Structure 1
Amino acid sequence: MNTNWLDYTLLTLVIIGAINWGLIGFFRFDLVAFLFGDMSWLTRIIYALVGIGGLYLLSLFGRIRSVGES
């Protein structure tokens, strides 16, 4: 699997999740729940993918540091 593809895909997903959290914080508007239903199976899958993507992207810190040291 191409790591760059995975990095960019998950980064996009996490950015979308961050925008959704911003909407919740500023306007009390949950875009994901609005589009897919309040805690429907699809909404829960989207939330889970954003969470998994965030956890995976923690590894980005180590990879950025190792590139900077090279």
Structure 2
Amino acid sequence: MRTLDAIALILVVIGAINWGLIGFFNFNLVDSIFGTMSAFSRIIYALVGIAGLYALSFFGRNRNNDRGEVK
């Protein structure tokens, strides 16, 4: 599960950086790389959205100590 968590976190960070660029500089990095609402950019947006929904599960996990053991 840790690999899936890392992938989800990376996608969420990519989404956050893209939204930050849009908010601060009115620059959409995904659209500039892959084209405005091209099929590939829509896939990127969908993956980032799914990763964000999956990342919500991070809040519900019970961590019992600082060593990262999961109960």
- TM-score (norm: length of structure 1): 0.89
1:16 equivalent in structure 2: 14
Structure 2 matches for 1:1-70, cutoff 5 A?
3-63=1-61, 66-68=62-64
Aligned equivalents of 2:11 and 2:52: distance in 1?
Answer: 9
| Residue identity (%) | 62
Q: Give the secondary-structure state (helix, strand or coil) at the position aligned to 1:46.
A: helix
The RMSD of aligned alpha carbons is 1.2
| Deviation of 1:67 (Å) | 1.0
* AA in 2 matched with 1:7: D
Structure 1 residue runs of 5 or longer lacking an equivalent are none
| Deviation of 1:68 (Å) | 3.6
Aligned equivalents of 2:38 and 2:64: distance in 1?
Answer: 43
* AA in 2 matched with 1:58: L
How many residue pairs get matched?
A: 66
Render the CA deviation track for 1:3-61: whole Å, top value 9, x for unaligned. Answer: 10000011001101100000000000000000000000000000000000000010000
